[in-house]
Amino acid sequence: MSDDNAAFAEDDKDIEQPAEPQPLYEEVTAADFASVDLNALTGSMTRLDRHALVDLFWSKTKEAVDGGDTLAERVYRLVSALVGLHLRVESEGDPFGLQWQNGTRRTAIPHDFRGNQSEVLADLAPGIVHPTLRARFADVAYETGVRRAGRTAVDAYCEVARRIADGSAALEFPDIGTRAMDCVKPLERSFMINARIAKRGTLIEPIAETLRLAFNNAVAERAYFPLAQLGRRVLQHKLIPSEEVAETAASLASTAPPEDYDMAVKECWNLAADAYDRAGDEDASRDAAIKSIERTLAMAETVPSSSAKAHWVKQALREFRARGDAKDRVDEMRRRLRELQDKALDEFSGIPFKLDGIEEVRDQTYGQFKALGLTDALRSMVGFSKPDDVEKLKELVLQQAKDSPLSNLFATSYADHEGREVARGPSLDFEDKPSEAWYKEHGIRHMSIVRRFRIHGNIEPARQAVLERFSINEQHMLPIVQMSSFIPIGHHHIFSVGFARMWQGDYATAGHLLLPQIENSLRHILQMSGRDAAKMEEDGLEGDRPLNILLGYCRADLEAILGADMVWELDSLLNFRPGPALRHELAHGKMGWNAFFSDEAISACWLVYLLTVSPLLRYWDSNVAPAIAAMTPSGEI
């Protein structure tokens, strides 16, 4: 080592080093595991969903705590955390996401079990009888670097799928009968691991056989969504001839009963089109693709309002246009879209609904949502985000100013986190009418107290109550975003992922996904209502107006559609200074981690949820709830 480097090393000794982070769970050794018999507890269980295991091991943890058995408590608490991990097969780089978190607390992730604990899990996994528990031990070990556990995980996941498909496993909700859907997640996870541990283009032995069994079961159940997902895997690996897959999917879709969900049948037609194309039958592939688009168009007949019908017609128009060989249909869709947009002018307005529970305290809110089913909870949550009456808010802040006149004689200065002055609020002359900027500044101040109460007294308790019973993910959100006229075509998955992360408490991810989308969605609803949100430069080039211009130049149009209260709320949260100006802060990378968990950022995320769900409330029970149920498996791995 050089003298200079030696000096640096010596200096480092005087620098206080940060403390090592404490592990979330106490390490459990192989000897500790030997003190309990996991196979005796789980080997005879017929239910393979993780919720059955979570309930079992939490009860065993409580028994150990009550009995003073600290060793058993440590084992059961760790196993409870393992089976409680939420598997997200749609996120290959991060398959086990957080189920719940707030600013300082969270549920477990695989990283919490790295090191010696992963080695112990990998060693124990092959001897575990219950396939879901075996899969979880092996998969967590695999995800934390113990690659030898990958094959064990694949075998276990395939056994889970096989037993669900052949009927030997009991379902969490047998009356729903979603065996085909329950097969998808373990199989998809098997493919994810197989891609890393097997040679390119090859499948580990049990995957192919299990996939064929699950595919045939989906056909027998007429389960369109899982059939499409499994069918694409079948085609990808050429496990069944393309012609056979195409004929099977086309036959199933063409004989669909009228009450079947159109978007589910659409997926079946898409599979048929893909399979026919792989088989070289271009005509049959085109016919299947056209029938798929017709299912999109059929959705317009399932919704009552012209604006919602226009949403589905526009989506069908884009699909026909993308084909490039259906000019007559494109022209027909354009005419129909214009007619619906004209009709929407008379009916597209803010949708009033009763706000329940706004005055209740945390415990009452928690109790109310603990008793709700999933679809009712997803709907009821919007009540906490309804904007306040702007005129009443103005009256309130003006009266507060009159009660405390000295605090309003001088302009207010606002500084950022670096001490720089970034905004000024106007002073108040009581002889003149306050300016709109003054009302907005003081309204934002007052609402900061109201938002804190709503978030911590209503939204967060309600969200936690729901998450304790349901593992909300993107698939629950997809039917909502697909039907909402607030969301433009091509943006559905962005919103579904954003809303799922929001429900899970990951407001950092939710904020990054949802808040930038508001501007484009406002332009979308303006266009759907026949208003022009575009601009033309002097040189004739056209472009889109940014958010601040939309909330100014197009304010009257937006208020006609959404209501003055909603537009005021959007402006105060996203655009106005002095105020949080979340759109500017996020776009310029100025929001730190804690900022996404602020009352304003959380309120803005839930406001997007309100804007998305509000157009669906009138036909939630008849259309939205059944669609969520159709895409929700009875038990999750």
- The DSSP line for 393-410 is HHHHHHHHHHHSGGGGSS
Quote the distance between the C-alpha of residue 463 and its chain's center: 13
One DSSP character per residue, 504-559 reads TT-HHHHHHHHTTHHHHHHHHHHHHTT---EEE-TTS-EEE--HHHHHHHTHHHHH
Is residue 349 within a helix (H) or strand (E), and if so which, with residue range?
none
Query: How many Å apart are CA 618 and CA 410, to the nearest integer?
Result: 48
Q: Strand runs (DSSP E) across 249-373, as ranges?
A: none
pLDDT of the residue at 554:
87
Give the residue ranges of the chain where pLDDT is below 50.
1-20, 348, 350-351, 353-358, 415, 418-420, 540, 635-637
pLDDT at 355: 42
The per-residue pLDDT for 353 is: 43
Residue 71: name the closest of 38, 27, 16, 106 by CA. 27
Contact 117, 140 (CB under 8 A): no
pLDDT of the residue at 1? 42
pLDDT at 9: 41
Which tokens go with 200?
A: 């390119």
The predicted structure's pLDDT at residue 16: 46
Please report, in angstroms and rounded to a whole number, the separation of the first and last CA atoms in the chain.
Answer: 53
- CA gap 105, 5 in Å, rounded: 40
Q: pTM of the prediction?
A: 0.68
Note the pLDDT of residue 574. 92
C-alpha neighbours within 13 Å on the C-beta side of residue 361: 1
Instruction: Say whether 86 sits in a helix, a strand or coil.
Output: strand
Can you tell me whether residue 61 is helix, strand or coil? helix
Burial (CB count <10 Å: 0-12, 13-18, 19+), residue 374: middle
Strand partners, 543: 535
Spatial distance between the Cα atoms of 636 and 471, rounded to a whole number of angstroms: 8
118, β-bridge pairs: none
pLDDT of residue 136: 96
Amino acid at 295: R
Q: Is 86 left (phi over 0), alpha (psi -120 to 50) or beta?
A: beta
